[in-house]
Structure 1
């Protein structure tokens, strides 16, 4: 067991290799026996790790991470979660195989078969004995306090431990404020575990995408090698007389870059491939733990599981490619330098399309430009990468906090927010457009019905009103004609009345005489 990994490292490049059985050791490929947990959260059998520690340090056989080993046995601590899950599975398997012991007497503290329960414990003296099913008995292990043998009733959010009534009484008054009931603690724990699982799933997705990206970049490296050699050969065939030495130097530079880049990508790919089994094991463990654990088992081991998941997510994972897949030989500058005597270019140099390294760079050792060392001209000429989204997620999942990382995080959040708001606006506009169409149809139908129902009556009233107006107009015309005809008569009558109101003087004297004579005759 002192050797390395027994399976070839190339098998870890396959994403499907992460979907291994969570209870099978990666070294011996057998079911775990006394599983031990390393600091990188890889789990191995104790027998597989025994004798590997050097100076209280143990290198992980999968990822090579150094773990500090304490104790005289030279082994890391036991994996309680995996061991608990394994014990539960063994108990369930034993119960399924043991058909005789189906019940358990809590009073007698012994298992019972169906015959003993019906024959022995049917007597009156056993009437007060508490008999439960054996499966229920295994689930009730975590219900009682190991110190006071009382049922757990509370949970301390401060100490992450369950409390019986005696434990609750023994607590300080200040600590009692952090106690909640079991049901509430179980619900809160489930929510927190769901959040931790979502974080691990996101890391798993990012790791898978990073592996796909790295595998694609390895293919791109090989493709770029072919393209670079083809370009060099084409230019060499055109000017082979004066450029043979230059081509030999350039061609000798390509394999070294190829080996360097492929070695770097494979190392990073190996690290990420070793990370996937850990993520898969913990996700399967969480799923099985949630489906098989009761409230008390959950509260006993759940927070330890959540703490482990958080630490796994916070570990430094190299998700971002350490360098670019571009093969840079700066062959154009070298060709320009070789052609300079023939073309009488003197001190003029052609601009390289792949970088701005000097012509003397091929004399020394060839270096592989990293992503941060790419020239401005290369970034301008090169088209935007199709892996922008994946690269951003890889950069964010790497865990390195820089100003650019913060910018990318803010950009992604803002982009998602704007995308969501635009989608909501689209939905609202479509809804309003649909409502307007429906409202327009309803109004059209209403207007048509109103016009069809009241059109005849309105037409009759309109015709009657028009007839009345014509009649009034005709009467007005008659009155105007009569007024014109009686006008001269009215003027003559007015003159007669005016003369009667002002008679002549002779007429007045005769009138006075007649009046005086009438008075005398009456006397």
Structure 2
């Protein structure tokens, strides 16, 4: 198993199964199906339910009906959706095919500034401007982030690595998907929790066949 896979750039936009529009802030459920952040939050607000008293809320995936539990008991739909991982692969793929006019620095937008982005920080999964790129280079905790320049057409035509952190072991990358439990796992999770599972696939293989 490897820590990252390679996928080829697609030209078609990725669409949300709920709104059928191009994905905006794509977040995925444990089953790996991905939705717009706003769409899945609305879905959580309207459908979350409990199996019995004193248990955590759950939802069923709008696509495959797999159950997804709330991260902590009693969280709001806003907190729940923010806990869902961002699909960095789809976000990067969508950015590759987007027009330059629609790429603005999200760091600056949080300060109510509109600044054209010139770079993509793969680790943050966000477009950034020249000034924020310099900040990345100066701040120790950001210094090792992988940053690519939009103007480097050859670089953006290359395969994009898929890297997602394990939700349990933050220092590890997910490598496999346990179909029995419908969970993404790092090597530690696999060794300690899923060794006896009958159906485990690599993340790369699952991504190729996921609708």
Superposition TM-score, scaled by structure 2 size: 0.41
- Structure with bigger helix share is 1
Q: Which has the higher contact order (CA 8 A, sep 6+)?
A: 2
Name the larger-Rg structure: 1
